[in-house]
């Protein structure tokens, strides 16, 4: 019937060697046993060879049919399990792609919001400086005994002239201001995660620039030793620090950064100071490229 000899002997022994049907039923019930094909550890002498044809009863046919059905059922269950796993894998891939798309979309929205906030902050800062300058002019005129209304009108007229002069500035002045701001943005991005160190560098640069503006004739304010430990710690060791001073007019002369007196450009230095103030006070400065 196709059974291994050890299994047949085991079935005959444990079924009491009573009948073929009992032995077949035992095999069907125990076919998943780990030791199903091991000989029983007993002394038996069973003659299993016979020259006569073995009759196949209905019980044997049912046992074989049951075994085939069990095998087919297991195969179908395995195929179904494999299909379900494949569906889960495909769905997991789709979920991952969707999550990635949503994350990228949110990142774009965040970048746009940060850029808008940075521009608004810079606009408010410029407007605040403009208003303060106008108020200072008005106060000075009032102290000199002028009519406040006339002074205000004069301030407005002056503001218009300033705006006209600003619009008529050479292109290289505007480009220089943009280079200064871009240099500070690059410095902040190059040292991302070091906010305290970057802020200290901006403050130190503001001191250098302010000293030259206030004392353009003092050589000590226009000369910086590159090997100075304080300078190296606060500015020189940061990528973009020395470049910013060079944009302000400083030149490398041996182991010094020097700003020749004849090359002191007050407007450029004031633009540098304004860019540094914005970089220090604007929390969104440098987060995005312009």
pLDDT tens track for 21-77: 889 898 888 888 888 888 877 655 555 565 566 566 777 788 888 888 999 999 999
User: What is the full DSSP assignment across 37-60?
Assistant: TS--SS--------SSPPP--HHH
pLDDT tens track for 137-178: 888 877 776 555 554 555 455 555 545 555 544 444 567 788
Give pLDDT, residue 155: 47
Give pLDDT, residue 87: 92
∠ CA 147-152-155, nearest 5°, is 120
Give pLDDT, residue 231: 95
Give pLDDT, residue 239: 92
Give pLDDT, residue 164: 54
What is the number of other CB atoms lying within 10 angstroms of the CB of residue 281? 13
Give pLDDT, residue 251: 94
Give pLDDT, residue 112: 87
Please state at what angle helix 266-281 crosses helix 195-214, rounded to 10 degrees: 150
Mean pLDDT of 121-150: 78
Q: What is the C-alpha separation between 18 and 13, in angstroms, rounded?
A: 9
Q: Name the 3-class secondary structure at 253.
A: strand
Whether the CA torsion 163, 168, 172, 175 is positive or negative: it is: positive
Residues in the chain: 290
Where in the chain do CATH 1.20.58.2190 domains reside?
A: 171-290
Residue carrying structure tokens 């009992």? 22
pLDDT over 90 at 91, yes or no = yes
**9, 109, 121, 188 from 115: Cα distances, Å:** 85, 10, 10, 15
Q: How confident is the model at residue 259 (pLDDT cuts 50, 70, 90)?
A: very high
- Return the higher-pLDDT residue of 259 and 173: 259
pLDDT over 50 at 186, yes or no = yes
- 243 CB-near residues (< 8 Å, 6+ apart): 183
Q: What percent of the chain has pLDDT over 90?
A: 45
pLDDT tens track for 196-209: 999 999 999 999 99
The residues that bridge with 253 in the sheet, in sequence order, are 256
- 12 CB-near residues (< 8 Å, 6+ apart): 23, 44, 46
- Minimum mean pLDDT among 65-69, 163-167, 179-183, 275-279: which range? 163-167
β-strand pairing of 256-258 with 223-225: antiparallel
pLDDT over 50 at 290, yes or no = no
- 217 CB-near residues (< 8 Å, 6+ apart): 261
Give pLDDT, residue 227: 93
pLDDT over 90 at 276, yes or no = yes
Q: What is the mean pLDDT of the chain?
A: 83
pLDDT over 60 at 118, yes or no = yes
The closest alpha carbon to 14, from 50, 36, 57, belongs to 36
The residues that bridge with 225 in the sheet, in sequence order, are 256
User: What is the full DSSP assignment across 229-247?
Assistant: HHHIIIIITSTTHHHHHHH
Mean pLDDT of 244-270: 93
Give pLDDT, residue 163: 54
CB 181 within 8 A of CB 278: yes
- Minimum mean pLDDT among 8-17, 131-140, 158-167: which range? 158-167
The closest alpha carbon to 166, from 126, 135, 120, belongs to 126
What is the number of other CB atoms lying within 10 angstroms of the CB of residue 276? 24
- Look up the CATH number of domain 171-290: 1.20.58.2190
pLDDT over 90 at 287, yes or no = no
């Amino acid at each position: 019937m196709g059974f291994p000899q050890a299994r047949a002997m085991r079935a005959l022994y444990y079924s009491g060697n009573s009948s073929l049907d009992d032995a077949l039923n035992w095999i069907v019930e125990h076919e998943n046993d780990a030791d199903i094909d091991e000989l029983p550890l007993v002394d038996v002498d069973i003659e299993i060879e016979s020259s006569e044809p073995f009759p196949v009863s209905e019980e044997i046919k049912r046992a074989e049919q049951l075994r085939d059905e069990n095998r087919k059922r297991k195969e179908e269950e395995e195929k179904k399990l494999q299909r379900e796993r494949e569906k889960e894998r495909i769905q997991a891939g789709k979920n991952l792609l969707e999550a990635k798309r949503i994350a990228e979309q949110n990142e774009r929205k965040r970048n746009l919001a940060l850029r808008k906030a940075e521009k608004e902050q810079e606009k408010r800062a410029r407007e605040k400086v403009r208003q303060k300058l106008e108020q200072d002019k008005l106060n000075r005129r009032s102290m000199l005994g002028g009519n406040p209304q006339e002074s205000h009108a004069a301030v407005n007229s002056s503001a218009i002239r300033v705006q006209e002069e600003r619009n008529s500035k050479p292109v290289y002045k505007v480009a220089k201001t943009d280079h200064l701001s871009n240099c500070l943005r690059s410095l902040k991005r190059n040292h991302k995660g070091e906010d305290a160190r970057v802020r200290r560098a901006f403050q130190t640069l503001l001191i250098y620039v302010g000293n030259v503006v206030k004392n353009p004739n003092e050589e000590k304010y226009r000369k910086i030793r590159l090997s100075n430990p304080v300078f190296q710690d606060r500015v020189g060791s940061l990528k973009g620090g020395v470049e910013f001073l060079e944009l302000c007019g400083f030149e490398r002369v041996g182991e010094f950064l020097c700003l020749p007196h004849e090359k002191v450009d007050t407007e450029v230095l004031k633009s540098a100071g304004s860019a540094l103030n914005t970089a220090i006070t604007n929390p969104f400065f440098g987060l995005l490229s312009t």
